[in-house]
Amino acid sequence: MTATNIPLRLHHTAYVTKDLEATRKFYEELLGFPLVATWCETDVLFGAERTYCHCFFGLADGSALAFFQFADPKDQAEFGPEMPSSPFHHIALAVDAATQRAVRDRLSAAGYEMPKTYDLDHGYCTSLYVTDPNGMIVELTLDAPNVEEIGEVQKKQARAELQRWLAGDHTSNNKYRSEVA
């Protein structure tokens, strides 16, 4: 597969929220993602007319996180299931060191402490995790200084490492972590 056969970038990822204003405050005021579009619409979707609003919070590459809220409580219930409570269901976004520090400071000032926020050093990146008002976990990652080198090593070994793991060898291959988890 060549680079021309893959998507250019993420356009947006979408979620349903029960409270667009709480979501706006969290993403715009605490995380610093600008509200770049609000669409209020009525469409025939999945066999019924549905009225909804969706807000887009911009990222530096032009992509966005989008959140929907429906006018009809029945639509909200149908399309707005609860977020999974597993920390493995999350969205990870790359940030620079200054942004990660600034977000951490704003979250701390707003009273976000463990377990709603925590840090983890993966070796190839350090991550700040925070739970949004919808129960979704957002990970803000700061790549390690040698992330390109790490990426090249991983790209060369990705298939072999997957096959090794699937065959039952579950030993860690992350030599970049400062301590083994």
DSSP three-state, residue 120: strand
The predicted model scores a pTM of: 0.84
93 and 181 housed in the same domain:
yes
71 and 138 housed in the same domain:
no
Domain that holds residue 77: 1-81
Q: What pLDDT score was predicted for residue 181?
A: 44
Domain total in the chain: 2
90 and 154 housed in the same domain:
yes
DSSP three-state, residue 2: coil
DSSP three-state, residue 145: coil
Rounded Cα distance, 54 and 66, in Å: 6
Q: What pLDDT score was predicted for residue 49?
A: 95
Average of per-residue pLDDT across 34-59:
95
CATH number at residue 153: 3.30.720.110
Q: How do residues 57-74 score in pLDDT, each as one tens digit?
A: 999 999 999 999 999 999
